[in-house]
Chain A
Amino acid sequence: MWVEKYRPHEIRDLIGQSNVVTRLGSLLENPKEMPHLLFSGPPGTGKTSAALIVAQKILGEPWRDYTLEMNASDERGIGDVRDKVKIFSRHLAMNAPYRIIILDEADEMTNSAQTALRRIMEESSRFTRFIMVCNYSSGIIEPLQSRCAIIRFPRLPKEEVVSRLEKICRDESLQCDEAGLSKIYDISNGDMRQAINLLQGASLLDKIDAETIERVSGITHKGKVGEIINLALDGQFSKARSELIQLTKVQGLSEADFIKYAGDELFRIDDPNLGEIAKLISEYDYRLVRGANPDIQMAALLAHLGSLGGSSKKLEIGHAKDQSEP
């Protein structure tokens, strides 16, 4: 996939991050003195790529052997972290200064796991460096933050994303128009990963213009989340629910993620009830976090949205039907 093909391999290739590029550049000049790192910033701004580049540059050829990549949203429990990290960080690396542990989406880790990490980081600092990657540094407990050099990745500016997409189009010898690329930016909200995925999706279908991009975005789960919320607001409870069950039970999107994306999509709604809808979504997010039965909670959310609908204009995400209106 293009997301992998066009992943940057040099620090200077990171787009829109001039500040980060300078700071990382100076760190790499003297790798022995590198502290633990904490990368924070919105999705798709190059955090994981930067972490991988740092590992490659410091560890050289055998970097894969000396790097442990963990994704905290998959393995968020204390046991996972402790076992894996402990075993990995036990031995000194041969012909490399230390081992590197990349902890992606670290803000998804439970508090107890983070607390445990604190000790592990200290014990293993002779042999290992941690690079923690997160969206919000506030999701990382203070003691961990204080053990790391924090590097913030700002949201990518539109020009940079568009020019990068144009370059990809040239490399793949594709036709593209300005409006299409601009639409990609709007939908992906500056997330480079999504942007490249959309571009590739659109290239499979047809020419890259605003309309195709809009259609393609409907196939992402984010698009489906929007659709389901539309159905619910429209009062089509049963249909919304059966779509939701397909999404969660077959495709494996968790209910918590559903709510997360629903929250992300809220800004697209132009609706007098927006405040109410946002309140509902946050409330049911809380209910899910409490560990209640997700089936029941989601059904209640959909029914509730139905009662708010009525006057609301629908979400406009990848919803081609809306375009039939003049």
Chain B
Amino acid sequence: MDREVFAALMRSGVKYDHDKGFMVDDRTNLKNALDLIGTALSETVTVATTLSEIKCFTCREKIDCKSCTYFDICPRDSKFCLCESHKQGAENLGEYSLAFASGINDLMDGEHAIPRTPPPDRDGVMWAERYRPLVVSALVSNEAVRIKFLKWLSNWKAGDKPVLLVGGPGTGKSTLVQTGSAELGYSMMELNASDVRTREKMRSALGPALTSSSLFSEKRLIFLDEVDGMYGRDDYGGADFIKEIIAAKSLPLVMSANSEYDARVQKIAGYNSKNVLLLRLNRALPRQIGLYLTSVLEKENLVMSDVKLEELVRSSRGDFRGALNTLQANKEEHGIAKFFERDSRLSMRETFNKVFMAHDYNEARAALSDCDVSNVMEKIRAAFQNIISNTKSIPSDRLLTSLRALSDLDLLVRTIEIEKRYRFLKYFDTQLASILFSVKADDWSFHEHDPAFWTIRFRVWNDSKILRSIARQVGYNHHESFAKATAYDMQFLLLAHAYNRTEFTERLIPDDSTRRVFDKEATLIRDKLKTDNV
């Protein structure tokens, strides 16, 4: 057989064995392979096998491959397929197809793909470093963003906006800047969160380059990594200095952050598109991580069971670096076959249901620390809502202890936030677990709302707004604060309304919806007075 056809067949996922001949499996792009063979033999070939059942990686629903947009280019890598809804949830479809077509091809076939054998000087280092792509085209996924970035850098002239690269950990922000600047002949000056970034330190590190760049023929680029890691006090004046650089626009400047909504990022860059060019790197798809890891394993001459690989991909949540680190750690400690979960995160509901079913306190604590929601205030609120929803089943002394403990914890968290002593948050899960474990019963299930609030929610959402706006008006008329108007005058106004002395209230009621609320509240007050009288 023609050597080229053979290579193409291999690329389509066909395996060859001296004893058994050609083999196809789930990963084979059958259509492609059949076309190739057909061309080689000059006739149409059909295979009598059926496609094995393909399920969504995320939700485990069966996927109908025939209707998939990518059926033609699909390598039949069934393990990491996503159903239509999760595909849309993960990334938009255009991005998906691009990443699919080019990212994978780059990785598998591209000239500049991951080095086939690790270069000697990269030996013995962390895999995350050893397999860091060397050129832009070897990065996986986020094709469109990579192109935008290269365009920005190659067309850069003094006065252009800086770039703010946003993306989760391990999505390739630093790698993109490193490879991009190297390919376009820029030398990169990098400052990241591990450097002290006070104004003076930054000036001495970057200053010469800023002022005398034209003297050098060398092209320079400034890369400020992890700008969300800058702290006001320690990096004193650093943020202002960055603002100055941004305003100067004398050198290409790239900043990276995990989110553009972070307060520090906003302070520095202002996340609107006026000041900076915002480029967002999405998390890689399971399939891309899977292929990447497979190719690394091949190069390291290691094997890993499909189940373990799948588990690793799932727990990586689109983080290449994390996935590689986990892979390496498990190889070194336990051999690749033994593998434990990196971080399997639980939703709020799952977390609390697990806590309620916990047999001992440790189990409860473990569930809490696995919670996907890292905001401690959210956790306290959820704990509170669940205790309050189950008041009936808790003995009153136990209820008091738990609420008191929650109140203490709430206060503690506030103090930690105010004093910025975040180190103490490490006691949080332990405390919350002990509170919950002392009151919970096995048959509890997660409550999303505070029942006392939930039953009157429509009054809160609709009527309350109207009442407040009237109280504000009354406060103005009576020369007093909103609080006083709410506490006293409103009640007497409503009472007057209830007894049809509308001369007092008429001016305050602009429309029918207000009147309805007024009537309702007035009736409530009158009824209350009547029952009190009885």
* Contact between A299 and B403, CB atoms less than 8 A apart: yes
Which of chain B's residues has its CB closest to A254's CB?
Answer: B483
Which stretch (A119-127, A139-147, A152-160, A197-205) binds chain B? A197-205
The docked-state distance in angstroms from the alpha carbon of A237 to that of B468 is 27
Looking at the assembled complex, report how far the CB atom of B496 sits from the nearest CB atom of chain A, in whole angstroms.
Answer: 6
Give which listed residue, B380, B450, B475, contacts A71 with CB less than 8 A. Answer: B475
* Contact between A291 and B414, CB atoms less than 8 A apart: yes
Give which listed residue, A197, A222, A245, A257, contacts B456 with CB less than 8 A. Answer: A245
Asked if A292 lies at the interface with its beta carbon under 8 angstroms from chain B, I say: yes
Give which listed residue, B377, B467, B472, B492, contacts A1 with CB less than 8 A. Answer: B492
Asked if A295 lies at the interface with its beta carbon under 8 angstroms from chain B, I say: yes
Bitwise interface map of B from 476 to 489 toward A, beta carbon under 8 Å scored 1, else 0: 01111111101111
Which of chain B's residues has its CB closest to A245's CB?
Answer: B452
* Contact between B406 and A296, CB atoms less than 8 A apart: yes
Residues facing A in B456-475 (CB within 8 A) are: 456, 459-460, 463-464, 467-468, 471-472, 475
The docked-state distance in angstroms from the alpha carbon of A253 to that of B490 is 11
The docked-state distance in angstroms from the alpha carbon of A280 to that of B411 is 15
The docked-state distance in angstroms from the alpha carbon of A251 to that of B452 is 15
Looking at the assembled complex, report how far the CB atom of B510 sits from the nearest CB atom of chain A, in whole angstroms.
Answer: 18
* Chain B: interface size category: 35 or more
Asked if A23 lies at the interface with its beta carbon under 8 angstroms from chain B, I say: no
* Contact between A253 and B410, CB atoms less than 8 A apart: no
Known A-B contacts A104-B479, A220-B487, A253-B487; A296 and B464 likewise in contact (beta carbons under 8 Å): no
* Chain A: interface size category: 35 or more
Residues of B within 8 A of A261 (CB): 487
Residues of B within 8 A of A250 (CB): 456, 459-460, 463-464, 467
Which stretch (B32-40, B187-195, B318-326, B394-402) binds chain A? B394-402
Residues of B within 8 A of A254 (CB): 483
* Contact between B404 and A304, CB atoms less than 8 A apart: yes
* Binding site secondary structure of chain B: helix
Looking at the assembled complex, report how far the CB atom of A5 sits from the nearest CB atom of chain B, in whole angstroms.
Answer: 10
The docked-state distance in angstroms from the alpha carbon of A171 to that of B400 is 53
Residues facing B in A297-322 (CB within 8 A) are: 297, 299-300, 303-304, 306-307, 318, 320-321
* Binding site secondary structure of chain A: helix
Residues facing B in A46-100 (CB within 8 A) are: 48-49, 52, 69, 71-74
The docked-state distance in angstroms from the alpha carbon of A252 to that of B484 is 11
Residues of A within 8 A of B467 (CB): 250-252
Which of chain A's residues has its CB closest to B454's CB?
Answer: A245
Looking at the assembled complex, report how far the CB atom of B364 sits from the nearest CB atom of chain A, in whole angstroms.
Answer: 19
* Contact between A204 and B501, CB atoms less than 8 A apart: yes
Give which listed residue, A72, A292, A300, contacts B403 with CB less than 8 A. Answer: A300
Asked if B384 lies at the interface with its beta carbon under 8 angstroms from chain A, I say: yes
* Contact between A306 and B396, CB atoms less than 8 A apart: yes
Which of chain A's residues has its CB closest to B401's CB?
Answer: A303
Looking at the assembled complex, report how far the CB atom of B233 sits from the nearest CB atom of chain A, in whole angstroms.
Answer: 19
Asked if B504 lies at the interface with its beta carbon under 8 angstroms from chain A, I say: yes
Looking at the assembled complex, report how far the CB atom of A319 sits from the nearest CB atom of chain B, in whole angstroms.
Answer: 8
* Contact between B491 and A104, CB atoms less than 8 A apart: no
* Contact between B464 and A249, CB atoms less than 8 A apart: yes
* Contact between B388 and A299, CB atoms less than 8 A apart: yes
* Contact between B499 and A204, CB atoms less than 8 A apart: yes
Asked if B495 lies at the interface with its beta carbon under 8 angstroms from chain A, I say: yes
Asked if B515 lies at the interface with its beta carbon under 8 angstroms from chain A, I say: no
Interface residues of B (CB under 8 A from A): 377, 380-381, 384, 388, 391-392, 396-397, 399-400, 403-404, 406-407, 410-411, 413-415, 418, 450, 452-453, 455-456, 459-460, 463-464, 467-468, 471-472, 475, 477-484, 486-493, 495-496, 499, 501, 504, 525, 528-529, 532-533
